[in-house]
Amino acid sequence: MKRLFFFFLISNAIFSQTNNALVKQRVSYTSIDGYTISNPLSLVYDQNGWLWILGENKLSSEFVFGEKEIILQRFDGNNFFTHKIPFTFKNKITKGALFRNSKGGLYLKFWFNNFSKAQLFFIDTKTLEIKRVLAYDKLLKNRHTDNPYHLNNKTRILVTHEEKLFSAELDGLQIKMLDSITYDKPNKSLFIKDINTFGNHVIVKLLSNEFFLLNKHGKFLKMLTKNDFIDVNGNAFLPTMIYSNFTIEGAHYFYFDAKYNLIKYNSKTGKFEEQINSKRNNRKTYTSPVAQEENKIAFLNKANKDFEVTIFDIVGKTYQLKEQIRAENIPVISYRKLSRDLAVAYENKLDIYFFSASKIQTFLKGRSVRAINQLTENKFIIATDNEGFYEVDVKKKEEKEIHFLYNNKAHFIEYSRDIILQDSMLITNDLSNVYVIDKNYTILSKEDTKHPSVEFMKVGDTVFTAGQYGKIFKHSLKGKTTTEVKNTKDVFVKEFTTDRKKVFATTSKGLLKYEKGESHFYEFDNVKTENLLSIKHTNAYGVLVATKFGNIYQFDEKRNTLNLFYKDSLKTSIVGMVEDNDKLWLNTYSGIVCYNPKEKQVKRYTKKDGVYELEGNRFSTFKDNKGNIFIGSYKGVSFFNPKELEESKLKLDPIFSSISSYNLEDEKWTTVTAPSKLKETKELVLPASNQRFNAQVSVLGIVNPNDVKFRYRLVENSTDSNWIRLYNRNEIIFSHLAAGEYTLQVEALTLTNQKIGNTLELRVISKLIFYKTWWFALSLLLLFLAIITYIAYQFKQQQKLYASNKIALNEARIKEAMMLEIHHRIKNNLQVVSGLLSIQAFNSDNDELKAKLQDSQSRIESIAGIHNILYNSDDQEAVFVEEYFTRIVNYNKTLFPINVRYRTNIVSVKLQMDKAIPLALILNELINNSHKHAFKKQDTPEISIGLTEEQKHYVFTYSDNGIFIESTNSNVSMGMKIVKMMIAQLKGNFTIEKANSFSLTIQIPKE
């Protein structure tokens, strides 16, 4: 009877979980992080793990709706790279889409004019080149729509036409037509509704409710009719929808219309047959899936004002809800492996979700766990506060409630603080008793401690108990006696620990050390007694004491002091400690913490890592004989293997996402982002003029970027240097790099400092500045010697030439005096002649003679001006034309009373005297001619003078706006004769225009 009763009690099993908890982590990106797309149109992962996003550029026409630029962005998990579409379009883009090419690369498709036209482009994801697929434009005339699909590592498209449905295969820039099938009746709706692949087949549904079946080669097998679909009663039917399909053990199943149950494809008959007693179990699956892979499927549904992506496990021909992800607007999604990640983009937000089976299992969810001990290899006994004891099988993941028997009656034990195994018996306690229990959970003895106890510990044959009202007692298990420990009358014990010889405890009077019947209490200046909490004796670090505010102190037994050992960054209470080799696992109010004292490394595990409840419980830590650790909390107990938890299974390598440096050949700062070029870049040469570069690094793969950190160092001449932790969005920046040859090394690490993949290396050569090179120093030395030699030689030559130079100087002074005398005489003679002509003209009553004398005087003044400019310049063989012409103009302004506006356009050029003098006489004659004959009836007279330079000629132009009257007057004739004579002397050509005004153009050869 006892055995039957016992069997009944212990057989009451509760199954807490069948699998490890699924941990979901989300990382969000907006424009602050470089994600500048405001309206995503499509996103897809390429074969290398880069996420490509197509959408509207938030930064273009930011406040104008519908007129934004369409761009592409690439994302490596850390950094965004923007690529502009290298084409211009006449029509407005209506829609865009990205899809993978099975053999590598991506396809980019644009629709225009409300979907009436489309263009296809191929993106080489290695070189980042985007090329138009011209074969797509020539594929088929009058085609309507086309949709892609993938099967057996092939990328194919189905193309609708008024008469036929076509099948084609894409391969880079080429398209190969595979097959076609004629509709059985005129088709008015040429849109493709669904394409579903299963096994080596493809089923296609048009919007017009026509179904087609293709084989793995892209050949049409037939057009499906209602005879190909059989319901559970054997009747033929034609469905109107294809919702989803999946494969179980080689058999292919479909969900068509909502009124039909699960339908199986019969490969022998080629028919789709409804299954008996099968139902769709979630209304969210009444739509086409947005993502699917083996044993996983996802749907998009409206959820109130938001949208929801629901992910299901395909288990036993049913969909079991696994995850739900909310989006504020209609999202576009992509994934690499649906069971491990999902990218969701909407508006200016990109959310990337990571799914992983937690390495931390939770048992006894919702129960406040206290004491733990090991029964067998996989079975453990766990005590809760007020819900009894449980037997937990960590391998089978089973939980069984234990019912104790005492005097053949059920006995409930609560508030146990420890479970001790000794000689196939259990020793435990409650607030008032100490129990000895056999392996069948029968209570053999129950000893009343006579004092309520909240702490319990066994040392050898002695059990120590302490109550909340003070006093510590010793209970002898063999002698069954109870003794009060001296000097503990008003002592409240928080927790016991022992090194098997001494007993230590955190108490209301400080730290207790009990040895050989003597009690010693210690209080400390650096820690308040009231803050002492947990205590643990460790083999590696001795007695450790934790506090309410996250500090751990090491107790120095010789000096009786507490030395700071660990300081929690969150200042959270530490309620338990477990020693694991040289590491400590801490039970805190903010999750589970792993602390490595030697390397000063801290890793905190929280709900994102699978910890069910963050607030830990006192007296609830345990390590089994395999090294597995239990950490208890108010809502269950966490179970894990420290090695597995810390172990990194990431088989990934760090990569360079971009490398930027100064390109000396192009003379500009260049950035390399193409994966193929980055892979080829093994060496980076920095010019001496710009010794800086920067590089961005990442790890491509299904890994949360927040779980990966980077470090780098620059090694010179194989000399090790310290590693530097990389921050700033994983960007390495070096500026003013000293000349030399270096090796840049980059490593990716987990948060527990385990290395991920291989070390990334880049050889960096920083060129030496030329004035620091050996050849420059040698050149300076040779130049210095050459200068000394030259100076010595010049000194000797100077001595030799001194005498001859002195003679030459005297001769030059004589010549200069003679030239000065000649100049004065010429100047005086010209002034005398000019004066005589002026007097003669003044005294003459003959107007014609006076005019001729004035003309002669003007010509002499021009010659005198040239001579004066020539002598006063450094170069006496040539003159600046602009300066000389200005003097002639100013002279004529004083000569004539008419206020003439002069416009000059004269190049800055010198002319030899043999050209300057004739040209000056020509200008003088032309100005005289204009003043005397052109401006009599002009209110605003203007003269334009120009001299331009061509390859072989100088071009002199002269014009006025006067009213030219043809005259046979001798004065005019004489002036023009002089002009023509001077032109002939210049060997030039000239043209004269006399419409309403006068214009002269002269071409003067340079030679």
User: Exposed, middle or buried by CB within 10 Å (0-12, 13-18, 19+), for 241?
Assistant: middle
Looking at residue 390, what is its pLDDT? 97
Strand, helix or coil for residue 778: helix
Q: How far apart are CA 898 and CA 227, in angstroms?
A: 111
Residue with tokens 């007020």: 386
Strand, helix or coil for residue 918: helix
Strand pairing class (229-230; 271-274) = parallel
Q: How far apart are CA 638 and CA 611, in angstroms?
A: 7
Q: Give 687's DSSP letter.
A: -
Q: Give 500's DSSP letter.
A: S
Strand, helix or coil for residue 591: strand
Strand pairing class (146-151; 129-132) = unpaired
Q: How far apart are CA 280 and CA 792, in angstroms?
A: 108
Q: Which residues contact 509 (CB under 8 A, 6 or more apart)?
A: 490, 491, 521, 523, 529
Chain-centroid distance of CA 715 in Å reads: 26
Q: Give 706's DSSP letter.
A: G
Contact 216, 201 (CB under 8 A): yes
Contact 342, 291 (CB under 8 A): yes
Looking at residue 20, what is its pLDDT? 53
Q: How far apart are CA 128 and CA 76, in angstroms?
A: 14
Q: How far apart are CA 331 and CA 325, in angstroms?
A: 11
954-to-879, 886, 946, 1007 alpha-carbon distances in Å: 15, 18, 10, 10
Residue with tokens 């149950």: 261
For 365-378, give the DSSP string.
Answer: TTS-EEEEEE-SSS
Q: How far apart are CA 967 and CA 818, in angstroms?
A: 48
User: Exposed, middle or buried by CB within 10 Å (0-12, 13-18, 19+), for 957?
Assistant: middle
CATH 2.60.40.10 range(s) for the chain read 654-766
Looking at residue 156, what is its pLDDT? 96
Rg (CA), the chain: 50
Q: How far apart are CA 541 and CA 598, in angstroms?
A: 11
Domain 654-766's class?
mainly beta
746 has which bridge partners? 712, 760
Looking at residue 19, what is its pLDDT? 41
Determine the longest span between alpha carbons in the chain, in angstroms. 168
Quick: pLDDT tens for 52-80: 999 999 888 665 555 788 999 999 988 99
Residue, of 381 and 770, whose pLDDT is higher:
381
Residue, of 833 and 406, whose pLDDT is higher:
406
Looking at residue 8, what is its pLDDT? 31
Q: How far apart are CA 915 and CA 879, in angstroms?
A: 10
Residue with tokens 């980059």: 746
CATH 3.30.565.10 range(s) for the chain read 875-1005
The number of beta carbons lying within 10 Å of the beta carbon of residue 45 is 21
Q: Which pair of structure tokens corresponds to residue 548?
A: 């309410």
Looking at residue 973, what is its pLDDT? 63
Looking at residue 967, what is its pLDDT? 54
The number of beta carbons lying within 10 Å of the beta carbon of residue 590 is 20
Buried b (16+ CB within 10 A) or exposed e, 603-636: bbbebbbbbbbbebbbbbbbbbeeebbbbbbbbb
| Residue 196 pLDDT exceeds 50 | yes
Chain-centroid distance of CA 577 in Å reads: 40
Quick: pLDDT tens for 952-961: 899 999 999 8
Looking at residue 63, what is its pLDDT? 55
Contacts of range 991-999, beta carbons closer than 8 Å, 24 or more positions apart: 994/964, 994/966, 996/963, 996/964, 997/934, 997/959, 997/960, 997/961, 997/962, 997/963, 997/964, 998/929, 998/930, 998/934, 998/959, 998/960, 998/962, 998/964, 999/957, 999/958, 999/959
Strand, helix or coil for residue 921: helix
Chain-centroid distance of CA 468 in Å reads: 58
Residue 383: which pLDDT band, with cuts at 50, 70 and 90?
very high
Q: How far apart are CA 730 and CA 22, in angstroms?
A: 29
Strand, helix or coil for residue 138: coil
Residue, of 739 and 623, whose pLDDT is higher:
623
Strand pairing class (220-224; 211-214) = antiparallel
Residue closest to 159 by CA, chosen among 132, 113, 195: 195
Quick: pLDDT tens for 114-171: 777 899 999 999 999 999 999 998 887 878 889 999 999 999 999 998 889 999 999 9
CATH 2.130.10.10 range(s) for the chain read 361-646
Element (H, E) at 861: helix 847-872
The number of beta carbons lying within 10 Å of the beta carbon of residue 877 is 11
Q: How far apart are CA 756 and CA 48, in angstroms?
A: 17
Q: How far apart are CA 531 and CA 574, in angstroms?
A: 11
Looking at residue 947, what is its pLDDT? 93
Q: How far apart are CA 75 and CA 53, in angstroms?
A: 8
Residue 1006: which pLDDT band, with cuts at 50, 70 and 90?
confident
Quick: pLDDT tens for 887-919: 888 878 887 788 889 999 999 888 887 888 888
Residue with tokens 């000629």: 953
Looking at residue 88, what is its pLDDT? 84
Residue 46: which pLDDT band, with cuts at 50, 70 and 90?
very high
Residue, of 10 and 935, whose pLDDT is higher:
935
- The verdict on domain 875-1005 having CATH code 3.30.565.10 is yes
Quick: pLDDT tens for 436-461: 999 999 999 998 877 777 788 889 88
Q: Which pair of structure tokens corresponds to residue 732?
A: 């390495």
Q: How far apart are CA 610 and CA 496, in angstroms?
A: 30
Residue closest to 538 by CA, chosen among 494, 505, 501, 581: 581
Rounded mean pLDDT, 15-40: 77
Strand, helix or coil for residue 920: helix
Rounded mean pLDDT, 321-347: 91
Looking at residue 806, what is its pLDDT? 77
pLDDT mean across residues, the chain = 87
Q: How far apart are CA 517 and CA 511, in angstroms?
A: 16
Contact 331, 344 (CB under 8 A): yes
Residue, of 983 and 113, whose pLDDT is higher:
983
Q: Give 680's DSSP letter.
A: H
Residue 100: which pLDDT band, with cuts at 50, 70 and 90?
very high
Q: How far apart are CA 906 and CA 315, in angstroms?
A: 94
Domain spanning 361-646 has what CATH number? 2.130.10.10
For the beta sheet containing 146-151, the strands, ordered from the edge strand earlier in sequence to the opposite edge, are 146-151, 154-160, 164-171, 174-182
Looking at residue 187, what is its pLDDT? 67
Quick: pLDDT tens for 296-328: 999 998 888 889 999 998 888 888 888 889 988
Quick: pLDDT tens for 713-738: 999 877 778 999 988 778 999 988 88
Contact 146, 162 (CB under 8 A): no
Chain-centroid distance of CA 408 in Å reads: 70
Contact 247, 253 (CB under 8 A): yes
250 φ, ψ to 5°? 85, -10
Q: How far apart are CA 243 and CA 299, in angstroms?
A: 10
Quick: pLDDT tens for 609-667: 889 999 999 889 999 999 999 999 999 999 999 988 877 666 788 999 999 998 877 78
341 φ, ψ to 5°? -155, 160
Rounded mean pLDDT, 517-525: 94
CATH assignment of 140-221, among 2.40.10, 3.40.50, 2.60.40, 3.30.70: 2.40.10
| Residue 839 pLDDT exceeds 90 | no
Residue 706: which pLDDT band, with cuts at 50, 70 and 90?
confident
